[in-house]
Amino acid sequence: MNTFTRLESEVRSYCRSFPVVFTKAKGHELIDENEHHYIDFLAGAGALNYGHNNPIFKKRILEYIDSDSITHSLDLFTTAKRAFLEHFENIILKPRNLDYKIMFPGPTGTNAVEAALKLVRKVTKRKMILFCNNGFHGVTLGALAVTANQSKRAAAGVPLRDTFSIPFDGQLGEKGDTFESLNFLLKNVHEKPAAIIIETTQAEGGINVASITWLKRLEQYVKKHNILLIVDDIQVGCGRTGTFFSFERADLNPDIICLSKSISGYGIPMSIVLIRPKLDCWQPGEHNGTFRGHNLAFVTATAALVEYWKTDFLSKMVLVKAEILEKHLQKIIEHYPMLKGQHKGIGMIQGIACSSNHLANKISQESFRRGLVIETVGQQDEVIKVLPPLTIETDALIQGLDILEKSIGAVL
């Protein structure tokens, strides 16, 4: 460990929770340099929906590299980019009756958010962006301005302006109403907001799931007031909630969609912004970057679309595993009343909100000691978050949940 503590910045975080040196990974497993095996309920924070070193994607990328095909190309046309665009249109967009232009910003999720925020301000010629309490959208300055986490906001070092937070679904209790807050806001600002950015399920914010009713009301509300709707599907898209887009259950039609993490399929950095065609008012080169669409990521992203999204098999399997996951978590909550647990989540992003972050962190540490990598999320890190690869075998899923249950028992 000395090399890392001596040379790597103090900003490192995940390695503090899981302090071993990993060497290999396959499917749902991580292996450290001492040959200890761990079940992975972290999955690259949602970047590995199809598991580590998926053999289908690995084969495609090795063939591509071996053929001396182009790796880096700025935004030049390449066969790999064309294949991705055509397959995304035919497999994802057309079957859902969605019409979007596809933008390749920088390679990470926060790059996608930055591009989206910049574009809605350019289109509307308005500055203010609305975001939701407990929302998380990235840590570069623009994305950070629409991220609720106070400790991360404090690190900016400059004022984070022209944004305003509103309550997420359920955050005001049974009698509270997000839309009353919105009405009050619109009556008291000199300029209406350009857009609102939301996660349909807040991942880092504590696995908070918006109801279909709330999502539909929000879409209707912003359309009525000529406010653009941005859906950040970076962590909960690409099948995490069961459908490719998380908002499909509410039949939303966002103006802009941000995707990253598992869009490449293999953990290779890649992000895209889907833009309603009439909003695509960029001038050539007006928003650019050196790594706008990595060809190796195009190859694996295309393989993911062809292998997992031509049919609804993966979606059906996610829903089956989600039911197993929910039942097991509910059983744990009932078996350990001292936990004061609350079930959170949907699809293959679920968890248990504990009575304190102290307890949740102890459970995470004990789980790791027993061979399970699982993180905590929420405003106080009070939620144990189960985020395995979507392709995890049912036996391995149950094995990981059994480790979690034993770790909770040991901590309590």
Write the single-letter amino acid at 76: L
Q: Which two tokens stand for residue 394?
A: 């049912």
- Average pLDDT for residues 211-223, to the nearest whole number? 97
- Average pLDDT for residues 273-279, to the nearest whole number? 98
Are 126 and 263 contained in the same domain?
yes
Are 293 and 214 contained in the same domain?
yes
**CA–CA dist 201, 346 (Å, integer):** 8
CATH of the domain at 329: 3.90.1150.10
Q: How many domains does the chain have?
A: 2
- Residue 77 φ then ψ, to 5°: -70, 135
Are 156 and 288 contained in the same domain?
yes
DSSP three-state, residue 209: strand
What are the tens digits of pLDDT across the range 108-158? 999 999 999 999 999 999 999 999 999 999 999 999 999 999 999 999 999
Write the single-letter amino acid at 355: S
Where does a domain end: 287, 308, 329?
308
Are 75 and 211 contained in the same domain?
yes
Confidence tier at 176 by pLDDT (50, 70, 90): confident
**CA–CA dist 164, 145 (Å, integer):** 9
Are 293 and 371 contained in the same domain?
no
> Is a pLDDT exceeding 80 seen at residue 175?
no
- Provide the β-strand partners of residue 228: 195
Are 136 and 34 contained in the same domain?
no
Q: Check: CB of residue 121 under 8 Å from CB of residue 128.
A: no
> Is a pLDDT exceeding 80 seen at residue 174?
no
Q: Which residue has the tokens 């040991």?
A: 410
Q: What is the pLDDT of residue 172?
A: 87
Which strand (E) or helix (H) includes residue 385? strand 383-386
Confidence tier at 190 by pLDDT (50, 70, 90): confident
Confidence tier at 19 by pLDDT (50, 70, 90): very high
What are the tens digits of pLDDT across the range 348-396? 999 999 999 899 999 999 999 999 999 999 999 999 999 999 999 999 9
Q: Check: CB of residue 390 under 8 Å from CB of residue 348.
A: yes
**CA–CA dist 270, 105 (Å, integer):** 9
What are the tens digits of pLDDT across the range 45-95? 999 999 999 999 999 999 999 999 999 999 999 999 999 999 999 999 999
Confidence tier at 293 by pLDDT (50, 70, 90): confident
Where does a domain end: 268, 287, 308?
308
From 129, 219, 127, select the one nearest 169 (Cα to Cα): 219
Are 133 and 44 contained in the same domain?
no
Task: Write out the residue range of the structural domain in which residue 181 sits.
Answer: 59-308
Q: Which residue has the tokens 């609720």?
A: 148
Are 230 and 274 contained in the same domain?
yes
Across the chain, mean pLDDT equals 96
- Residue 168 φ then ψ, to 5°: -80, 165
